[in-house]
Homo-oligomer: A and B are copies of this chain.
């Protein structure tokens, strides 16, 4: 048995693989954050920036041999600490994996490298007759690789599904440096185990995704966005049912927002209030089809007749629609007004949602009378986000317990779309039973027997 390599030897070996400009240390590491909100500067052995899959394979082979932990990083704006690093880790950044292939219009597919930010893909696709099925607030930073690693969801899940449903094939590098190309370009390919599924949502613990073939969708010929104010949660649910029924598959977004989310963001002053008065609930909805404008008008007329909505505005053009979306996406404004918040991403049956949220708020308020709770989410998927500000970062663990443990009795999920990472690891048992966790460990051990890939994430 040879002695473990010194830090200098590790850096030298990595430099041989990727070249001297692409092994970052010291300040170049400390200037980065490894999650969102950006509170914790990165502190790890180094950042290594490979340019090719072969370089990724060489890095993993080396680290696997020497038992050096490797944390793959994309946009580093995940909310669960899936990309967070420890002192001895090698951070493997996919930032040089930026190529977007040509769109294949017959197959309706595009091949992209893992480091491509979602927004760059969206821009590339926009020139074509197609669109990409996943959209989310962090589109400027989130990369395709990170979105695959967390099976990202976002705003259009009700129409197109999560990342899992967009990935036709992928290339990943296993812990021992094996390059696994499972890059199917056909929609239907039932030839043995669907290996790509292992990597989707596994947060970099089973392999490093380097490339993917993504499915595209026909871009809707037009879309129409509306913003409505409602008085009760029952009315919100009834509006969703009405919209689903009237718009038949053309409803692409149905976001619910509570006053504790909307009002502070408006107070921040970046956005004009979409409606004249304040309401108990707000809904941002979008219909995408040839007759989107008519559909939305018809829907809102019916909803007013049925007294489901109190007020509403329909965006008359793309700029107005973008303003409504900007309000929905402005978590930075919320944090600027509220102060730093703990962010949560849970899912729960719609019928249980109100009861769950009331229970959580009651528990929080009994302990922190001045707690600020901002709630918003993708109602159709049962996915709610909470931003909770108690005033002290020391309360994080106690708030976690309240938010997550209350889910158990409702059969909810502690992570709808952001993954487990480090943040939710100790609550995995709320959503997964012992047999499931045992099987996960079994798979982890088979694919990464020396436990070098993002060790300690999801489970210890």
Contact = CB atoms under 8 A, between A and B. Distances in A.
A190 interface: yes
A188 B416 contact: yes
Interface stretch (A68-76, A176-184, A256-264, A336-344): A176-184
A190 B146 CA distance: 13
Contacts of A433: 181
A106 B420 CA distance: 27
A245 B419 CA distance: 36
B218 A347 contact: no
B106 A351 contact: yes
A204 to B, nearest CB: 12
Nearest to A431: B191
A162 interface: yes
A201 B174 CA distance: 22
Nearest to A207: B439
A435 interface: yes
A177 to B, nearest CB: 11
A435 to B, nearest CB: 5
Instruction: Choose among A187, A347, A413, A415 the residue with the greatest number of B CB atoms under 10 Å from its CB.
Output: A187
A437 interface: yes
A230 interface: no
A198 B201 CA distance: 13
Given A197-B197, A249-B289, A289-B248, A436 B190 contact: no
A176 to B, nearest CB: 11
A424 B290 CA distance: 44
Contacts of A184: 413
B180 A435 contact: yes
A278 interface: no
A285 to B, nearest CB: 16
Contacts of A424: 191
A269 to B, nearest CB: 33
A253 interface: no
A106 B438 CA distance: 32
A184 B433 CA distance: 11
Interface string A185-200: 1111111111101101
Nearest to A378: B188
Interface in A184-236: 184-195, 197-198, 200-202, 206, 218, 220-221
Nearest to A443: B193
A161 B165 contact: yes
A435 B190 contact: no
Contact of A244 (B182, B218, B245, B447): B218
A144 interface: no
Given A180-B436, A446-B442, A189 B248 contact: no
Interface stretch (A11-19, A149-157, A363-371): A149-157
Interface in A124-168: 150-151, 153, 157, 161-162, 164-165
Contacts of A290: 248
Nearest to A206: B193
Interface string A20-46: 000000000000000000000000000
A165 to B, nearest CB: 6
Interface in A90-117: 106-107
Given A180-B439, A184-B413, A188-B382, 10 more contacts: A186-B411, A188-B417, A189-B347, A189-B416, A193-B198, A193-B439, A193-B443, A194-B201, A218-B244, A443-B446
Interface of A: 106-107, 150-151, 153, 157, 161-162, 164-165, 174, 178-182, 184-195, 197-198, 200-202, 206, 218, 220-221, 237, 244-245, 248-250, 289-290, 347-351, 378, 381-383, 411-420, 424, 428, 431-433, 435-440, 442-443, 445-447, 458-459
Nearest 7 pairs of A and B residues by beta carbon: A197-B197, A188-B416, A189-B413, A446-B446, A191-B431, A106-B351, A186-B347
9 contacts: A106-B350, A106-B351, A107-B350, A157-B188, A180-B436, A187-B383, A188-B347, A194-B197, A218-B249
